[in-house]
Amino acid sequence: MIADRLGIFARTFVRDSPDQVAAEVAKAGYPLAHWNFAAIGLPTLATAVDESVFLDVRRAFTAARAGIPSISATYNVIHPDAVLRARQTRDAVRLIGLAPLLGADVVTLCTGTRDPLNMWRAHPGNDDPDAWSDLRYTLDPLLTAAAITGVRLGVEPEPGNVIRDAPTAARLLKELGDDAPIGIVLDPANLLTPQTVSRQDEIIGEAIDLLGDRVIGAQAKDVVAEGYSAAGAGLMNYPALLSQLDRVAPVPLIVQDASESDAARVRTDLIRWAER
């Protein structure tokens, strides 16, 4: 049942403590949450965060009867500042090693941009061969850490990043090989625009054809004229989308870009759409 696989970004509910965040996730009806330490005002990469805080988060979600299938380790992996990039990579390696303390088996990444200020913003340099080389170079220690820890890295096709679409994601997976501890977090809204949403079935179908057997997570948001919105508040056909997602393994479906006040509505609608 889709209800058992629904989650939400923990940072939807920014609070002072893990207990407060977990309580809000459960109150909105979600059995899962994608964890980000920003939800409690700490750095996403958990720089200098003690292991005891990881255990506090796990205990809080267990008490709320919610799970954490994944954790964010997003940073700009091809940032033009190589010194910054190396420091953040060391932090990410540590975070990957601690992910099991949360119960998480997926660690999500941002595949980066040459834009120095916004890791989600497109840049002409993203298509240069050296951007791809830097991505591969940065991934190496992250993949090693994931293999040692027994977790998988999740990369998301994102129009502003090096892995901008399904074909570039397929290229990365092919280069790394089937045994690499890495998979795809599929956010269908990232593959669509207001101009292409009328071709939703075709575009998402092609992405699933390319990536379906490597999808380890999915996200739910919607396409609007400017950016994105909560699922059901935009242009996408969600009943049709959920039918297509039945072609991939039953992975967590994580709600993104929902406000606190809209979180419960999105959950209810996703369950209703899935039953059509």
- Cβ contacts of 37-41, under 8 Å, gap ≥ 24: 37/72, 38/11, 38/14, 38/72, 39/10, 39/11, 39/13, 39/14, 39/15, 40/14, 40/15, 40/16, 41/14, 41/16
**What is the domain extent for residue 39?**
2-274
Looking at residue 276, its pLDDT comes to 82
- What burial letters (b/e) apply to 241-261, b meaning 16+ CB within 10 Å? bbebbeebeebbbbbbbbeee
Looking at residue 11, its pLDDT comes to 98
Query: CATH number of the domain that 21 lies in?
Result: 3.20.20.150
Please state, in angstroms and as integers, the Cα–Cα distance from residue 262 to each residue in 39, 96, 225, 258, following that order: 17, 31, 20, 6
CA end-to-end span of the chain: 13
Looking at residue 46, its pLDDT comes to 99
Q: What is the CA radius of gyration of the chain?
A: 18
How many separate domains does the chain show? Answer: 1
**Tokens standing for 89?**
């990579």
What pTM does this model have? 0.98
Looking at residue 226, its pLDDT comes to 87
CB 107 within 8 A of CB 146: yes
Q: Which residue has the tokens 């992996």?
A: 77
DSSP for the chain, please give it: -GGGGEEEEGGGS--SSHHHHHHHHHHTT-SEEEE-GGGGTS-TT-TT--HHHHHHHHHHHHHTT-EEEEEE----TT-S-HHHHHHHHHHHHHHHHHGGGGT--EEEE----S-SS-TTS--GGGGSHHHHHHHHHHHHHHHHHHHHHT-EEEE---TTSSS-SHHHHHHHHHHH-TTSSEEEEE-GGGG--TTTGGGHHHHHHHHHHHHGGGEEEEEE-EE-SSSEESTTSSS--HHHHHHHHTTS----EEE-S--GGGHHHHHHHHHHHHT-
CB 88 within 8 A of CB 45: yes
Tens digit of pLDDT per residue, the chain (276 long)? 899 999 999 999 999 999 999 999 999 999 999 999 999 999 999 999 999 999 999 999 999 999 999 999 999 999 999 999 999 999 999 999 999 999 999 999 999 999 999 999 999 999 999 999 999 999 999 999 999 999 999 999 999 999 999 999 999 999 999 999 999 999 999 999 999 999 999 999 999 999 999 999 999 999 999 889 999 999 999 999 999 999 999 999 999 999 999 999 999 999 999 998
